[in-house]
A and B are shown apart, each in its own frame.
Chain A
Amino acid sequence: MKIKQLKEVLGFLALRLCMVLVMAILVVVFWDIVTKGGGAVSWELLTQPPKDGMTKGGIFPAIVGTLLVTLMTALLAVPLGMGCAMYLNEYALDCKFTRFIRMSIRNLSGVPSIVYGLFGVALFVEACNFGTSILSAGCTLGLMTLPLTITASEEALKAVPRSYREGALALGATKWQSIRTNVLPYAVSGMLTGTILGLSRAAGETAPILFTGAAFFLPDLPGSLLSQFMALPYHLYILSTQHHDTALVRPLAYGTALVLLILIFIMNLFAIILRSRLRQMKKE
């Protein structure tokens, strides 16, 4: 009897240790980046382009580049993702074909990001002749984000009670009318929240933009959709591995990492605030 109890206590202790360890990983990551990157974040870092062979100055073009490419990502992923979710949740019958689509979505979400990069090179850079550009990189990231946006949007649609649809149909609304006026308005907040969370992943991705448009260094901001751009994650990669004096620019790298984390954090926060705001609006 004693041994049985001892085993239980020790067993649970081991499980608890696992969880503490996982939490510790997160704490270490943030602690290191925040303490060492905090000192590097300054007005200059945020507003100036890199100077003197990227040993001084800031990361302004990289911030702008990341924002622009994320916007491009959104332009592709948001309508396509929402549309696909609406098809799956509102129109598709539960048949083999639908299951095949769902399986494809799950599989797309498991395709390695570098493979998306290759796909982007072959499709957008070469076949579509967009060159290495914001457009190519944004489209590549957009496709990569698609599974996430679809899943999140579908969750939001599922949360709308069936009675809203039935009620509308029973009043003589067509299917599309019932969706447009009586389903979408109540799903849109959830859809956007999930989508923004997906976009925040895209903003932190490096591998898909390596060859589709991210540039080592650009003195000017991108002039058009067909220009190359600097991006925060790629810049961090450059500073920490490709720079001629990686030790010298370590503070800059830490600063870049912190700014990237903050950017992603802000996007997440924005999504959460949006969700609660829209929820409140609905209540009134």
Chain B
Amino acid sequence: MVRSLIGTRIRERRRAKKLSQTMLAEKAGISTSYMNLIEHNHRAIAGRTLLSIAESLEVDPKELTEGADHLVLTQLQEAANMISEKTVELNRLEEFVGRYPGWSNLCAKLYENIQQQEQRLQALSDRLGHDPFFSEAMHLMLSNVTVLHSTSDILATTDEIPAAQFKKFIQNMKTESERLSDTITKLLSYFDETTSTETQSPMLAPSKLDQFWEMHDYHLYELEKPELNPKAQIKKMMEAWNFQESGEQRLAEALVGRYASVADHLPLDEFIVAAVDYLYNPILLAQKFDCELHDVFFRFAHLPSEYDGQTLPQFGLIECDGSGGVLFRKPLKTLSLPHKSSACPLWPLYRAISQPMQPVRAIIETPTGESFLTVSQAVWSGLNNYTVPPTVKSAMVFTSDYQRFLPTHERRALPTIKVGMSCEICPRTNCSARRSDSILDN
């Protein structure tokens, strides 16, 4: 498959260097007719001939065998599959990329843009479906409309209504129409704020690092096989993604490096077998693999969605420091997570901070009715230092798929904590942990 592209690449690079076929053949020490056959992809080349041609063209041999075109090829292949267009000449894809690098890069870039737009739309759709603020606002508005609809119908269809009752109905309609107007204004303001802070709000415009994880579905199969040389794979990923901000690049490298380390210590095949055996109990798994509980959490969050033909439970993960600042997040579709600041103080993630090293297990229930099994633990960091106080890092792994593995008697024994996302958008009233009013309060 690659063979056909090598000749085309050689030809393109030769032309770019303004060399004739004869000149290049001479430099590489082969005949012009042989060079002609190579350039027209009629001869496969490798070894010494490939090296001498690459040297003559002053390029890395890899650029001729795979090069930067690899990603473009993959993207164009995906684009063709996406539209299921039978008229696309897939058998000539490599030739296209080799002959028209500018056009193929443009097509690949357009495809990438489409993918990103689709992800944003999906994020928006998920948000509308699960955003507690939106859900509560809709509920309030439907209640307002119900009163207006029903009461106005009564007034229109009932001939005789006692004066006091009539007055009461009019007052109710006035109150409900004011509430409706108020809720709509708040709703518009909420979405306006979201739009105006879009660049800082990765929920609608995910950061490149978020996109990186989402594109990989939080699973890096390249790092699951030690024989693939994880270090080289990490380098390749970082180059391909070209994180613009140095802070993001460092963070990405650290996280992917951590992934590689966890994958090495908790090999996927062995881990999944053990996880099923131990009913996804992270404590037992940490004992078996002689590792930290946080490593098991991290592994859970990066499991593939399917393994050996079976779907696996999906886990989300949030890690924060002692001040609640978010260090890592993997949201689930049904549970969005804060990007930087703290969430609902009732989350077990924060309770764990008050008792470092002690795991906390609980079911949490969101205002929209979804429930999740959570396991949290905070650990000390920077101990044994006279001058700098130690810090804590807390992590909470969670899943809504717990019915698949958690025995009923264990589920019943767990406390269920009714939580929110953050006070501003939480519809729960009479909450002892509330630190600010909900913007939906009438």
Q: A and B bound? A: no
